[in-house]
Amino acid sequence: MENPKDLKYTKDHEWVRVEGTKAVIGVTDTAQSLMGDVVFVELPEPGSEYGAGDAAANIESVKAVSEVFMPVGGKIIEVNMELEDSPDLINKDAFGEGWILVVEMSDPGDLDNLLSVEEYGKLIAEGE
């Protein structure tokens, strides 16, 4: 699957969609394919605050438990409750319905440290 051009990425395979001062965060299609079938997602409490690089959520697949690191810091304002009953949304639609959380960014400067779609594409190709 192609990585959408309008998103920012991390080397740990998270994606970020900026909407004003908010950022929607999920994991990439590459991440879900590496993890295999997702069976459980542990979501953070809305209202809690995380710094960039902090582990905010856990994704449990049949192979292992993986942490979701915050690409940007800030306060969690929404989490994807659909994932509680349908964790497979991450496998089916990682860039869409499989979104994980929305954060109110505390420092938009964090965005400067993220990868563009080209940089992320290159990173995956190197990992192959």
Partner 1 sequence: MDRKLIFEISRPGRRGATLPAADVPVCEVEKLIPPEYLREEAPNLPEVSEIDAVRHFTGLSALNHGVDTGFYPLGSCTMKYNPKVNEDMARLPGFASIHPYQPAELTQGALELMWLTEQYLAEIAGMAGVTLQPAAGAHGELTGLLIIRAYHKSRGENRTRVIVPDSAHGTNPATAAVGGFEIVQVKSDERGGVDLESLRSAMDENVAALMLTNPNTLGLFDENIVEIADIVHKKGGLLYYDGANANAIMGIARPGDMGFDVVHFNLHKTFSTPHGGGGPGSGPVGVKDFLTRFLPKPVIGQKNGMYFLDHDRPDSIGKMHSFYGNFGVVVKAYTYIRALGGEGLRAVSEHAVLNANYLMARLRETFNLAFDRVCKHEFVLNSKNQKSFGIHTLDIAKRLLDYGYHPPTIYFPLIVEEAMMIEPTETESKEVLDGFVETMLKIAEEIEKDAERVKTAPHNTVVGRLDETLAARQPVLKFKPSE
What residue ranges bind partner 1 (CB under 8 A)? Answer: 34, 37, 39-40, 62-64, 87-88
CA distance 68 to 1: 20
Q: Are residues 76 and 48 in contact, defined by beta-carbon separation less than 8 angstroms?
A: yes
Q: Are residues 100 and 26 in contact, defined by beta-carbon separation less than 8 angstroms?
A: yes
Q: Which is nearer to partner 1, 1 or 64 (CB)?
A: 64
Nearest alpha-carbon partner for 54 in 42, 70, 65: 70
Q: Shortest approach of partner 1 to residue 116 CB, angstroms?
A: 24
Q: Shortest approach of partner 1 to residue 35 CB, angstroms?
A: 10
Q: Which is nearer to partner 1, 24 or 91 (CB)?
A: 91
Q: Which is nearer to partner 1, 84 or 107 (CB)?
A: 84
Q: Shortest approach of partner 1 to residue 42 CB, angstroms?
A: 14
Query: Rounded to 5 degrees, what are φ and ψ at 33?
Result: -75, -30
